[in-house]
Structure 1
Amino acid sequence: MNDEQDIITLYDENGDEELFEVLFTFHNDDYNRDYIIVYPAGADPDEGTVDMYPFIFNAPKEDDGTEGTFDEIEDDAEFAMVEAALNQYLDEMDAKD
């Protein structure tokens, strides 16, 4: 992994700010969507079990001034595809070590 990680801010249901690091992003042609996998800022995925959170990433529209939005993955088949992509990514990272 890079020494420099992207940090994003998400808000929970109470409006409280939480910081997350981006593990990786990818596009899936079957669903024609972009995805992002994040984990709590400061956690080290190389040092044990870390909760990872997948989201559908909606890129910002050029003129709306936002940085994009995230949606939860609600379809079981889509979630399984994202989980498989995450496992493949983690396996590739393990192979590099």
Structure 2
Amino acid sequence: MSEEQERIIIPDENGEEHLFDVVFSFDVDATETSYIVVTPSEQGEDDEGDVEVFAFRYEENGDDPEDFALFPIETDEEWEMVEEMINTYTNEQDL
């Protein structure tokens, strides 16, 4: 039995909604921030086997886990940490 892929809808700057597969999410206790890594649902791998990945900082709004807000990652420090988590995740999946 396969595990169902968690998906979210993210609107673009024009208000068009796009479906994304959640790759993983993680929390950073030291800064009390949460991050989510997603890929476009309708996207496949490119010729080199790579998949486009997006990452956001997110905050939950209340008790409903489906009610949250996404924010762009703005600092180099945040990007370095997220890239390290993506690399760790990717390496674990290749095992």
TM-score of the aligned structures, taking structure 1 as reference length:
0.83
Structure having the larger proportion of residues in helix: 1
- The residue correspondences of 1:1-97 to structure 2 (distance < 5 A) are 3-44=3-44, 48-62=49-63, 67-95=67-95
94 and 44 in structure 1: CA distance in 2 versus 1, 3 angstrom threshold? farther
Equivalent-residue separation in structure 2 for 1:92 and 1:81 (angstroms): 17
The root-mean-square deviation of aligned C-alpha atoms, in Å, is 2.0
The Cα of 1:44 is off from its aligned counterpart by 4.8
Percent identical among aligned pairs is 37
The Cα of 1:4 is off from its aligned counterpart by 1.2
The Cα of 1:49 is off from its aligned counterpart by 1.0
Aligned with 2:31: secondary structure? coil
The Cα of 1:43 is off from its aligned counterpart by 3.3
Query: How many corresponding residue pairs?
Result: 91
Equivalent-residue separation in structure 2 for 1:33 and 1:43 (angstroms): 28
Equivalent-residue separation in structure 2 for 1:28 and 1:83 (angstroms): 14
Cα deviation code 1:59-82 (max 9, x no counterpart): 12238xx71111000011111001
Q: Which runs of 5+ in 2 are unaligned?
A: none
